[in-house]
Amino acid sequence: MELHKAQHYISGQWVGEAAGGVYESLNPADGTIVGTASAGSSGLAGQAIMAARKAFETSGWASNPRLRAWALLEFANRLEVRKEEVANLLSFENGKVIDQARHEVAAGFGEARYYAGLARNVFGRTFESGTDKMSLLTREAAGVVAVIVPWNAPVTLLVRSVAPALAAGCTVVVKPAPQTPLVNALVMKCFDEIGALPPGVVNSVNERGVEVGKELSTHPEVDVVSFTGSSATGKAIMANASATVKRLSLELGGKSPAIVFEDADLEKAVSAIRRSSIALNGQMCTSVSRVLVQRYVVDELADRLKSAYESVVVGNPLSANVELGPLIDRANQRRILRLIDRAADEADLILRGAAPGGVLERGAFVTPSMFRTDDVSSPLIQDELFGPIVSLESFDDEREALERANATRYGLAASVYTHDLNRAMRLGRRLKFGTVWLNGHNRLMAEAETGGYRESGIGRLHGVEALNDFLETKHIFYDAEF
């Protein structure tokens, strides 16, 4: 395979300067080199920020919704043309199985088209505030947005922030994850091919350390930081942003429970839980990581789920029948294996995952694990594990199910499985999570807002409300008697 190269993209130009040198991007399935990336610096980040500021202040981008809609549609079309190329590179660079990679790219250009429609529908309001007096409430672009993208879904999660920011009239500086700079550069090419896009509206600076991210979260010319990633990193960004009182759009960690009642269709529940817990190889913030089961059926569901996990096909993510690819790197493989050892010491290990041998030995693979515990205070329950490992917990009644599900500092997503619609709706309202699915999991779409309660984030992305993270409201008062 031809090696890819990822340069920085600043003010409509590809910048090859590698202030921090050049680093390799590795295929987690076999450790081979996929390509190289130029490492950025705070200086390059500053250049990108000032390019974005210039475009925002002087290009007319912020006041031209028709141009913004057209540019987003053009981007979507160009990404769709490259969909197979992007999906294959995504599988090579972060280990996502090819069907999921294709779905991610399709979600990306679908999301861009959704916000192209909203770009021409940013409305304010007016009212008479007195005799011959008028108040106008306008919605205006917030300014320069720093978009810090994670490695687990580097196409969808980039577009999920960039598209509403551009639709609102903002300009952006993107920082891709160090593990996925090549996919990011390919997406940036789709923006670069839009001839009418003013230089500086979209910029991107690679990084392999923390220098660029710190610059983006502290620079006085950045107005909004949009970050998807761990709660720990989100807290660091909040601290950095506090000095200049930046606005924040944060989707952070999750510890998603699937709550299964005795009247649920167990076959369908197991299928949904299996699929949702191994999505993105278990490295998804909304993945099922806790399975709460009513005590009357816990043993049956444990047996069914164990068999379901044992049937998961692990292997080369580009193979059509593979369901679980490698973790993002060897370091995370070792981390998950240590967590499995801990689960064996502290809980009842129902299914022990392992690093496969043979042809998969060179990759960062770990097979699925499941352990059983009723100790809700355990770090295995409280911490986001971010891999193909789930806990099985039992409960007696609806009250206990609710207490257990809410007993973490996270509140991103949850699901409930029952044929009792009244119970499903009661739990849906009382669960402290930004998204609650009933008889399903991970049903994500551009039209429906996502975001978290508590330590799972601030603000909402997807949907109409995503624009709010990138808009300011201004009151203009007019006195006709003056």
Residues with a catalytic annotation lie at 251, 285
How many CA atoms are closer than 13 Å to the CA of 123, on its beta-carbon side? Answer: 5
Quick one: tokens of 295?
């005590």
Cα 35 to Cα 177: distance, rounded to the nearest angstrom = 15
Amino acid at 387: G
Q: Taking Cα atoms as reference points, which of 187, 205, 262, 253 lies closest to residue 457? A: 253
SS3 320: coil
Cα 482 to Cα 476: distance, rounded to the nearest angstrom = 15
DSSP state of 389: E
Cα 110 to Cα 233: distance, rounded to the nearest angstrom = 29
Q: Taking Cα atoms as reference points, which of 165, 201, 206, 225 lies closest to residue 23? A: 206
Q: Residue written as tokens 């395979």?
A: 1
389-395 and 410-411: which strand pairing? unpaired
How many CA atoms are closer than 13 Å to the CA of 411, on its beta-carbon side? Answer: 17
Cα 178 to Cα 480: distance, rounded to the nearest angstrom = 57
Instruction: Report the Cα 411 to chain-centroid distance in Å.
Output: 15
Quick one: tokens of 145?
């947005």
Instruction: Give helix then strand counts, H and E, for the chain.
Output: 14, 23
Cα 224 to Cα 226: distance, rounded to the nearest angstrom = 6
SS3 315: coil
Cα 370 to Cα 391: distance, rounded to the nearest angstrom = 6
Instruction: Report the Cα 388 to chain-centroid distance in Å.
Output: 17
Instruction: Give the Cα-Cα-Cα angle 349, 281, 232 (nearest 5 degrees).
Output: 85
